C-alpha cells in the first residue's frame, strides 16, 4: 500500500515537474522571441545606415522572402535599393509599400523621391500633389523644391528651399541643392554663398566644395576659397577650376591650375596629367 502511494506521489511529482518544465520552456521561448524582435529591429537599423547598400539589399530581400507582408521590411528593401543607386527597382518596391494597409504619407513621399531619381518627374509630382497640404515636413518641402526647379518655377523653388532649410538641423545637403539651382540659373554669386553655407554645416561635403569652385570660376575668380580641405580634395578642386577656366577660354590660367593640381596631389593624379597632356598637344 505504501509502495502504491509512493509510486503515485512519484508519478504526480514527475507530471508536475514536466508541467513546470513545459511552462518554463514556453516562458523562455516567449522571452527569446521578444529578444529576437528587438535584435532584428536593431539589425534592420544597422543595415539601413552603416551597412554597404548592396549588402543591405541582399539582407532585406532574404528577410522579405520569409516575411512578405511586413511593411517595415519592404521599406528597408526599398530604401536600400535607392541607396545602392538602383532607384528604378526601389520605386517598384515603394509603390508596393504605398498599397499596404499600414502605409503612411511618408511612404508616398519616399515613392515620389525614388521616381524623381529615375527621372519620372510627372508621376512624382502627381504623387506629391496627393499628399495632404497639412503635411509640412522637411522631406515634403525638399521634394517640392526639386520639382519646382525641374519646372523652372524659380520663385516657388526658392520658397520651398528656404522652408526646408528651416525644418532641419542639418541643412548642408539642401543648401547645396539650392546653390546648384542658383548655379544653373546663372546666379553665380548667390550660388557661391549657398555652397559656403552648406560647407559650414557639413565640412565633409565635397560636392558643395566642388560646386563652390565652379561658381567662383564662372565669375572669373580662379582662387580656391578659404575652406577646410584635404590635400587630395585641394588637388581635385584645382583640377575642377582648371577645366572651368579652359572651357571659358582662359587657357593659360587653366594650364597653370592643372600644374598646381598635379603638384598638390600626394600621389599620381592621372586625370590632371591627362588633361594637361591634351592641352599641350
pLDDT for 230-268, tens place per residue? Answer: 999 999 999 999 999 999 999 999 999 999 999 999 999
CA distance 253 to 258: 9
Q: Is residue 94 part of a domain?
A: yes
Whole-number pLDDT of residue 111:
97
Whole-number pLDDT of residue 52:
86
Q: Is residue 47 part of a domain?
A: yes
- Residue 198: closest CA among 157, 164, 155, 147: 164
Confidence bin at 30 (pLDDT 50/70/90): very low
Distances (CA, A) of 238 to 14, 56, 216: 83, 36, 12
CA distance 254 to 109: 43
Q: Does residue 146 or residue 38 have the better pLDDT?
A: 146
Q: Is residue 177 part of a domain?
A: no
pLDDT at 208 over 90: yes
Q: Is residue 120 part of a domain?
A: no
Q: Does residue 281 or residue 151 have the better pLDDT?
A: 151
Q: Is residue 43 part of a domain?
A: yes
Q: Is residue 220 part of a domain?
A: no
Q: Is residue 72 part of a domain?
A: yes
pTM: 0.80
Ramachandran angles phi, psi of 223, nearest 5°:
-105, 145
Residue 59 belongs to a domain with what CATH number? 1.25.40
Residue range 202-230: average pLDDT? 96
- Residue pair 182/154 in contact (Cβ under 8 Å)? The answer is no
Residue range 132-156: average pLDDT? 96
Cell 514527475 sits at which residue? 14
Domain that holds residue 64: 38-110
Count of domains forming the chain: 1
Whole-number pLDDT of residue 134:
95
- Residue pair 114/92 in contact (Cβ under 8 Å)? The answer is no
Q: Is residue 76 part of a domain?
A: yes
pLDDT for 69-117, tens place per residue? Answer: 999 999 999 999 999 999 999 999 999 999 999 999 999 999 999 999 9
Nearby residues of 201 by Cβ (< 8 Å), 6 or more positions away? 170, 171, 172, 175
Amino acid at each position: 500500500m505504501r509502495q502504491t502511494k509512493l509510486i503515485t506521489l512519484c508519478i504526480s511529482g514527475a507530471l508536475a515537474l514536466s508541467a513546470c518544465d513545459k511552462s518554463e520552456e514556453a516562458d523562455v521561448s516567449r522571452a527569446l522571441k521578444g529578444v529576437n524582435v528587438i535584435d532584428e529591429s536593431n539589425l534592420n537599423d544597422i543595415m539601413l545606415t552603416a551597412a554597404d547598400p548592396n549588402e543591405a539589399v541582399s539582407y532585406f530581400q532574404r528577410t522579405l522572402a520569409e516575411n512578405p507582408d511586413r511593411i517595415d521590411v519592404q521599406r528597408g528593401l526599398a530604401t536600400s535599393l535607392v541607396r545602392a543607386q538602383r532607384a528604378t527597382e526601389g520605386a517598384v518596391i515603394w509603390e508596393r509599400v504605398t498599397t499596404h494597409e499600414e502605409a503612411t504619407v511618408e511612404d508616398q513621399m519616399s515613392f515620389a523621391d525614388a521616381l524623381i531619381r529615375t527621372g519620372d518627374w510627372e508621376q512624382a509630382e502627381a504623387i506629391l500633389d496627393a499628399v495632404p497640404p497639412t503635411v509640412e515636413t522637411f522631406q515634403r518641402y525638399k521634394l517640392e523644391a526639386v520639382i519646382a526647379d525641374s519646372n523652372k518655377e524659380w520663385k516657388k523653388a526658392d520658397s520651398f528651399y528656404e522652408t526646408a532649410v528651416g525644418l532641419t538641423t542639418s541643412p548642408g545637403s539642401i543648401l547645396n541643392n539650392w546653390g546648384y539651382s542658383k548655379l544653373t540659373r546663372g546666379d553665380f554669386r548667390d550660388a557661391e554663398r549657398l555652397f559656403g553655407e552648406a560647407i559650414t554645416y557639413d565640412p565633409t561635403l565635397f560636392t558643395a566644395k566642388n560646386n563652390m569652385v565652379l561658381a567662383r570660376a564662372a565669375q572669373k575668380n580662379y582662387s580656391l576659397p578659404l575652406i577646410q580641405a584635404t590635400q587630395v580634395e585641394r588637388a581635385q578642386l584645382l583640377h575642377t577650376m582648371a577645366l572651368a577656366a579652359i572651357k571659358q577660354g582662359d587657357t593659360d590660367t587653366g594650364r597653370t591650375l592643372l600644374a598646381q593640381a598635379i603638384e598638390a596631389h600626394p600621389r599620381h593624379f592621372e586625370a590632371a596629367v591627362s588633361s594637361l597632356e591634351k592641352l599641350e598637344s
